[in-house]
């Protein structure tokens, strides 16, 4: 591909996907300015590594994976991912289904859900996003973050419980406003 065609291709891909990539990064860092920077970096990385894309999956999926990796590297580099306390959280945890009556019927906007997820502690938010949004297994999460599978399960359980609590509060506030 000549230089002009390559520039036109990347300009079009940037225009088409930048909003989604900023959203992907925001889910991990909960800061719009940082998310925009990380999405830009993801595009630069994609351009540098364009040879590694062989059209086996969707181009957007490939970009998304790069954006997630950028966000995870940022979290590690900023030391926001404090040392994982294996001794304290190393035990296996059963994923218990908490009583979520009232939440199952409550409707939340995408913005409300994003806000609630963004307020989770960094470790919980990261594990939750990798598991629930990126569909990674606990062993994949453990490898990516350098933690045990058990710790991944503990963090997910805690994230779900805290998210559920935050959503209950949102639903109650909404109900009060409607009265």
Distance CA 25, CA 42 (A): 9
Strands (E), the chain: none
- The CATH number linked to 52 is 1.10.1740.10
Burial of 45 (0-12, 13-18, 19+ CB in 10 A): middle
Lowest mean per-residue pLDDT among 83-87, 99-103, 174-178: 83-87
Tens-digit pLDDT profile for residues 151-163: 999 999 999 999 9
- The pLDDT value given to residue 86: 39
Q: How many helices, marked H, and strands, marked E, lie in the chain?
A: 8, 0
Domain containing 17 equals 3-77
Tens-digit pLDDT profile for residues 97-128: 444 444 554 578 888 888 889 899 999 999 99
Nearest to 69 by CA among 21, 125, 9: 21
Residues 91 and 72 in one domain: no
Residues 24 and 99 in one domain: no
- The pLDDT value given to residue 131: 93
The arithmetic mean of pLDDT across residues 126-145, rounded, is 91
């Amino acid at each position: 591909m000549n230089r002009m065609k390559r520039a036109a291709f990347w300009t079009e891909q940037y225009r088409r996907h930048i909003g989604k990539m900023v959203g992907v990064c925001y889910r991990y860092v909960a800061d719009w300015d940082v998310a925009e920077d990380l999405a830009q970096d993801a595009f630069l990385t994609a351009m540098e590594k364009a040879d590694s894309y062989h059209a086996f999956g969707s181009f957007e999926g490939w970009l998304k994976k790069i954006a997630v990796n950028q966000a995870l590297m940022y979290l590690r580099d900023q030391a926001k991912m404090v040392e994982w306390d294996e001794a304290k959280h190393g035990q296996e945890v059963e994923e218990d289904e908490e009583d979520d009556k009232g939440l199952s019927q409550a409707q939340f906007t995408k913005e409300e859900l994003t806000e609630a997820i963004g307020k989770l502690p960094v470790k919980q938010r990261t594990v939750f996003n990798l598991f629930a949004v990126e569909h990674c297994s606990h062993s994949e999460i453990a490898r990516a973050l350098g933690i045990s599978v058990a710790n991944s399960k503990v963090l997910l359980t805690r994230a779900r419980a805290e998210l559920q609590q935050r959503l209950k509060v949102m639903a109650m506030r909404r109900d009060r406003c409607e009265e």
